[in-house]
Every structure is written in C-alpha cells, then in structure tokens.
Amino acid sequence: MFDLSQSLPDFADDICFPKANDVLRYRAIDMAEFEQTRAEVENGTFRYRIREVEFEPAALLADPDAVNRELLEVLYR
C-alpha cells in the first residue's frame, strides 16, 4: 500500500494508500487471484476497489452487522 514511484493510478495524489479515514476490507484470496493481481501491479493496470460512502459511527455501534452488510453492498455493486 505504498508506491514511491506513484506509477499506479491509485497513487497519483499520494505515495500512501489508504487515507486516514478509509474503511478497509481484507479478504482471503487464492493463488490464481494473487498471480493475477501481481501481474496487474507489474503492468501498471491494478486498481483498488474504491467506493465513497457516508459513515456514521453511531449506526455502527447500534447495529454493526447491518452496517457491515450495507458497506459490502456498496463495495460490490
């Protein structure tokens, strides 16, 4: 999540990704997806899946499962 050369599109404005207020989702991947992602990084076409959302901490505290479902729906539509 660091590109000193800023050669990838998601690093055009900054050498570090993500920003301080970003919400991240880590997930397991298999070797085939790893190799595909590595190839995209090496040829400069890799893009992070980024979506803008309004995040309300109070909603997360009230119903974390519902907020997680909503975030995943926005991320993967």
Q: At residue 19, does pLDDT exceed 90?
A: no
Mean pLDDT of the residues in the chain = 91
The domain locations on the chain are 24-75
* Residue 77: pLDDT over 90: no
Nearest to 37 by CA among 76, 19, 10: 10
Residue 39 pLDDT > 90: yes
Reported pTM: 0.70
The answer to whether 75 and 51 have CB atoms below 8 angstroms apart is yes
Contact 2, 15 (CB under 8 A): yes
CA distance 34 to 28: 10
72/20: higher pLDDT? 72
Dihedral through CA 35, CA 31, CA 48, CA 18, nearest 10? -110
Cα 45 from Cα 10, distance rounded (Å): 10
Q: What is the pLDDT of residue 18?
A: 86
pLDDT for 67 equals 93
